[in-house]
Structure 1
Amino acid sequence: MPALRALAAAVFLAHPAWADTATETAERAAADLREAIATLDQAEGARNRIAALTQTIRAYELGLTALREGLRSSAIREDEIRASFEAQRDTIGQLLAAMAAMEAAPGPLVLLHPDGPEAAARTGMILTSVQPALEAEAAKLRADLQEIARMRALQVSAHSALQEGLSAAQAARTALSQAVQDRTDLPQRFLEDPEELQALVANAETLEGFARGVARLQSDIGPPMEDFASAEGTLPLPVVGTLLRRAGEADAAGIVRPGMLIATRPAALVTTPWPATIRYRGPLLDYGNVMIVEPAAGYLLVLAGLATVYGETGDVLDAGAPVGLMGGDETALAQGAGAERPETLYIELRRDAEPIDPAPWFEQTREE
């Protein structure tokens, strides 16, 4: 019996309870995603459709990210539970057999110990001390099995939410593109691309040279609306994503660039993190579509790699205004496909035409 008691204690300690399981996290993320989907539907009739659609598309993207991370953590947790079951199969079998024997044994027979009443009393005391630990471990095993069942149900529910969200997000992006195209109340610095800018585009050989040329053009940005320099370290990233490469880090080809690279999901929405004037938007070299905005006199924010760009040169944008969409097909992503091929947004920040490290300016990429 001492061996059985030690066995029960060892098994119990091998299965610590999670105060907040990965399944609960994923379930909350699924609920948040469904709430964002509902908001997408409501945004279509909002008075300020562009702002409403932008906010709800971003909420959907954040909810999608949280749900997929939750599902990934949930899958890891399920593997851990199953591996624990497999590793302790014999131990668990002994545990269940002991409990079954204790439940099946009639109470009076326990007293009929071959060594007499004193041995029977000791046996009863040992069983009494072991039983709570056995019952506690049985409850933990039952909870683990219930958690696996919740994970399976969550996977079915999440697949439905992802499909529903894909349809809602695609409709919202279409509505956003149309709303931007129909916009007529946006202040503008000038009505068409300056001839100097058109010449820069025609003669551009590198993004570096083009950005320097744009910095030299007369901006006529007007008085600054807010102190951009004081915003260092507080800006949100223009897109929901993760840092892939910092400024000055060589890529696979050994090329070093002064900006940072953000991995994004397909069709992710790109916004301006600060009130700004569009200085250039459109295709450039092999960067896809490029958006260059001026958040303050002397500063340029370069966003390269977009599939779609919104607005016209000279548009004055509020913080958080949409400036475009990333490329890629999110259908496979919404269907729960395992492998993801991320899109990449290149971000460069220039002050007085010279590139500076953009990472410290954004809350998500600054280093403490």
Structure 2
Amino acid sequence: MRAPVINLLLIASVSGASLAQAQSPAPQTAAVSPDAIKQREQELEAARASKKSAEEAQAKLKSEISSLGQDRTQLNQQLIDTAANVRAVETKIDEAETRLKTLNGREQQMRSSLDSRRADIVEVLAALQRAGRRTPPALLVRPEDALQSLRTAMLLGAVVPELRGRAEKIAGELGELVALRKTIAAERDQLASDRDKVRTDQTRLTALVDERQRQQASREKDLDAENARAITLSRQVGDLQGLIAKMEQDLQSAAKAAEKAAEAARQAEAKAAANAKPGPGTFKDRSRTTPAIAFASAKGLLPLPVNGNKIRDFGGSDGVGGVQKGISLATKPGSQVTTPCDGWVVYSGPFRSYGQLLILNAGGGYHVLIAGMERISVNIGQFVLTGEPVATMGSTSQVASILATNASQPVLYVEFRKDGTPIDPGPWWAANEGEKVRG
């Protein structure tokens, strides 16, 4: 009767505890034990402590933001730094999820390999038992204990010589599986930590954005009326060029923004000849109220507005027989969208099949269009800095299906225009941004 028992033990050791769980009797209703009551009290206390900690964190954050007052430079610095932190952690989470997927696949392969070697493991364990070694009970569910058992037996010479090679091979596979499981556990812990961090940063970012918009609203008395009029005007035009012209001609705040953009472009072009070639440090001044450099001089310096994978490029097929006029980036739900350049908002709201649309006048006849977000957090006439948070993605595609390969996935559409004509944005992206985007 011993051999069948060893077989059952072996199958359980390789495949896990699922069989034991399946065969366990159904739980029966019983009185709540004092230990269970104590555990629930501890859980309740932990929940109260967590709530108190969250409230204290919120109060501290509110105090910090209030201390910024009307200091626009500090507020801009906080906004851009926090948005950069959010996007950096979003990238780490994405990379960790990819690694975990690969590691989990490898673990499954190793488990399948061990499962296929049951006969060898049975023989080795049978030899151990014949030598008087007792199999530890934990062997039923833990590969770590199976590995320890084999190693101990080999050190003590309990494995007969003809089985030593097979035992060493099995021990090697089990050792690799144990190490892999530790790596997976560490990756999961780091992923959980990163998710907690991004939630904290997103809370902070939301509060900062609210404060920015509160200050903007106090400066723009007719903000709501302007936004409502912009939506009305947008329904009177059928294309993007018509929308831009309509906004900058008929809407007071957009017209002022266009005028400032034109003046800033003239000044930037006058300085460009005297200044050295601009670099990444060009955008460090958070107190600026006009673009740091002329848009035409920003080639190779601009960051992508969102973390994502490029699914369509400028000049490629748009999927319906036409040519793509911008780029499309597939993103994660809720991803943070930041401005790729300095500029004035000349439109912010829904438009046709683009979902939520944001149009920036970057000066010098250049406009940047960003579409497909679920929520935009800036207003018409507002000046925004490179890297400043302006929107968030939704959970599904907000643009027409021709802009996305998968309508269930959020997609951000970005288009650059010069004097009304779409142009290739490729030369403007920073080199490291091109490496991040995978087609």
- What TM-score, normalized to structure 1? 0.64
Secondary structure of the 2:234 match is helix
Q: Tell me, what secondary structure is at the counterpart of 2:386?
A: coil
Q: Which residue of 2 aligns with 1:68?
A: 97
* 2:85 match: 56
Taking the aligned partners of 2:325 and 2:378, their CA distance within structure 1 comes to 26
Deviations 1:63-117 (A, max 9, x none): 32222222222222223323443455566777887986892279xxx9xxxxxxx
Alignment of 1:33-48 (within 5 A): 45=64, 47=68, 48=75
Q: Give the conservation status (yes or no) of the 8 Å contact 1:180–1:310.
A: no
Could you say if the C-alpha distance between residues 62 and 186 of structure 1 is closer, same or farther in structure 2, counting changes exceeding 3 Å? Answer: farther
2:238 matched residue in structure 1: 205
Alignment of 1:1-368 (within 5 A): 45=64, 47=68, 48=75, 49-86=78-115, 103-104=157-158, 137=169, 140-150=172-182, 153-154=185-186, 157=189, 160-161=192-193, 164-165=196-197, 167-168=199-200, 171-184=203-216, 201-211=234-244, 218-221=258-261, 222=264, 223-224=267-268, 225-254=292-321, 256-328=323-395, 341-362=408-429, 363=431, 364-365=433-434
Q: Structure 2: how far apart are the matches of 1:270 and 1:360? A: 20
One-letter amino acid matched to 1:238: P
1:255 positional shift? 5.1
SS in 1 for 2:422: strand
Give the counterpart letter for 2:375 in structure 1.
T
Deviation at 1:310, TM superposition (A): 2.1
CA distance in 2, matches of 1:69, 1:105: 41
1:43 and 1:54 mapped to 2: Cα distance? 16
1:150 CA drift (Å): 1.9
Structure with the larger RCO, 1 or 2 (CA within 8 Å, 6+ apart): 1
Cα distance change of structure 1 residues 305 and 213 upon mapping to structure 2, 3 Å threshold:
same
Show structure 2 runs of 5+ residues with no match.
1-56, 69-74, 129-149, 250-254, 269-291, 397-405
Change (3 A) 1:186 1:277: farther
Give the root-mean-square deviation of aligned CA atoms: 4.5
- Structure 1: distance between partners of 2:182 and 2:310: 33
Q: Relative to total residues, which structure has the larger helix share, 1 or 2?
A: 2
What SS class does the counterpart of residue 103 from structure 1 fall into?
coil
User: 1 CA distance for matches of 2:172 and 2:242?
Assistant: 64
2:8 maps to which residue? Answer: none
Contact 2:347–2:380 (Cα < 8 Å) also in 1: yes
Tell me the residue number matched to 1:113: none
2:361 & 2:343 partners in 1: Cα distance? 5
Identity of aligned residues (%): 26
Q: Bigger shift: 174-183 or 41-50?
A: 41-50
> How many pairs are equivalent?
297
Task: Give structure 1 stretches of 5+ with no counterpart.
Answer: 1-39, 111-126, 330-338
Give the whole-Å Cα distance in 1 for the aligned partners of 2:296 and 2:113.
53
Moved more, 171-180 or 306-315: 171-180
Kindly tell me: are residues 352 and 181 of structure 1, through their superposed partners in 2, closer, same or farther at Cα, counting changes over 3 Å? same
Calculate the TM-score normalised by the size of structure 2.
0.55
8 Å CA contact 2:103–2:184 kept in 1: the answer is no
Task: Quote the Cα distance in structure 1 between the aligned partners of 2:346 and 2:166.
Answer: 71
Identify if the C-alpha distance between structure 1 residues 65 and 303 changes in structure 2 by more than 3 Å, giving closer, same or farther: same
1:259–1:357 Cα contact (<8 Å) kept: yes
Deviations 1:92-151, CA, capped at 9 Å, x for gaps: 777887986892279xxx9xxxxxxxxxxxxxxxx9xx97x8787466324322134325
d(CA) in 1 for partners of 2:171 and 2:227? 73
- What is the CA-CA distance between 1:301 and the residue it aligns to? 0.9
340-349 or 233-242, larger mean C-alpha shift:
340-349
